Chain A
Amino acid sequence: GAGVSQSPSNKVTEKGKDVELRCDPISGHTALYWYRQRLGQGLEFLIYFQGNSAPDKSGLPSDRFSAERTGESVSTLTIQRTQQEDSAVYLCASSLGVGRYEQYFGPGTRLTVT
């Protein structure tokens, strides 16, 4: 079946502009996660959605970052007033839900802030 998809695959934006990144999870997966991976580094947790529960936003680095998810479908990650340090690959993952741990990653969105 279809895996996790993300769009766009690449995004170049000017410093100060807002960007919106999209994630389509695997159908039936109730849990959705966003991670950030800077060049040559590991993955940093950003935010986690599980069904209709309040999201875990503990990894968001600043109030310029926000994310939404409607039900158990698409999620969007928004970065306002982008800064050069926001340049990274933003990865989305989904899983069957709490206790069903295996997370499957999308291909990522490479964000470059000039």
Chain B
Amino acid sequence: GENVEQHPSTLSVQEGDSAVIKCTYSDSASNYFPWYKQELGKRPQLIIDIRSNVGEKKDQRIAVTLNKTAKHFSLHITETQPEDSAVYFCAASGIYNTDKLIFGTGTRLQVFP
């Protein structure tokens, strides 16, 4: 079945710096790749997603890139702020006509003021 690997597991940056989180997936049939942000004790919130027919998508300070050939996708956060501190999960889905999400193991991002 699908497997999603995520790196790094923890990431510390200074406020204003950029943060990059990378994921790889195993099944080339996957066609939808969302990123979720989860603050402590809260539910995961979708922050951005990308489908397999595009290579890049941007929403203000957040961008996602997808390389289908290499089967990896990345989350880029620019001009980080302390409120960006959270755990970020990547996921992949869309194979076999189901939408179940296979999640990465998460990245704990800390932004220091």
State the A residues within 8 Å of B (CB).
31, 33, 35, 41-45, 48, 50, 56, 58-59, 91, 95, 98-108
Query: For B105, what are the chain A residues with a Cβ–Cβ distance below 8 Å?
Result: 41-42
Check if B98 sits within 8 Å of A101, measured CB to CB.
no
- With A45-B100, A48-B99 as given contacts, are A101 and B93 in contact (CB-CB < 8 Å)? yes
Since A44-B103, A48-B99, A108-B43 are in contact, a sample of 6 more A-B pairs with Cβ atoms closer than 8 Å, ordered by chain A residue number, is A42-B89, A91-B43, A101-B32, A101-B49, A102-B34, A105-B44
Query: For A56, what are the chain B residues with a Cβ–Cβ distance below 8 Å?
Result: 98, 100
Q: How many residues of B contact A (CB 8 A)?
A: 26
Query: For A99, what are the chain B residues with a Cβ–Cβ distance below 8 Å?
Result: 99
State the B residues within 8 Å of A (CB).
1, 6, 32, 34, 36, 42-46, 49, 51, 89, 91, 93-94, 97-106
What are 24 sample pairs from A and B whose C-beta atoms fall under 8 A apart? A31-B99, A35-B101, A35-B103, A42-B6, A43-B44, A43-B103, A45-B101, A45-B103, A48-B99, A48-B100, A50-B99, A56-B98, A95-B99, A99-B99, A101-B32, A101-B34, A101-B49, A101-B99, A103-B34, A103-B101, A104-B46, A105-B43, A105-B44, A107-B42
Q: Return the chain A residue nearest B31 by Cβ.
A: A101
Check if A42 sits within 8 Å of B49, measured CB to CB.
no
The distance from the CB of B86 to the nearest CB of chain A, in whole angstroms, is 14
User: Complex formed: what's the CA distance from A41 to B93 in Å?
Assistant: 19
User: Complex formed: what's the CA distance from A59 to B45 in Å?
Assistant: 22
Check if A59 sits within 8 Å of B44, measured CB to CB.
no
- With A41-B106, A42-B105, A43-B89 as given contacts, are A33 and B46 in contact (CB-CB < 8 Å)? no
The distance from the CB of B51 to the nearest CB of chain A, in whole angstroms, is 8
The distance from the CB of A69 to the nearest CB of chain B, in whole angstroms, is 15
Check if A43 sits within 8 Å of B101, measured CB to CB.
yes
The distance from the CB of A110 to the nearest CB of chain B, in whole angstroms, is 9
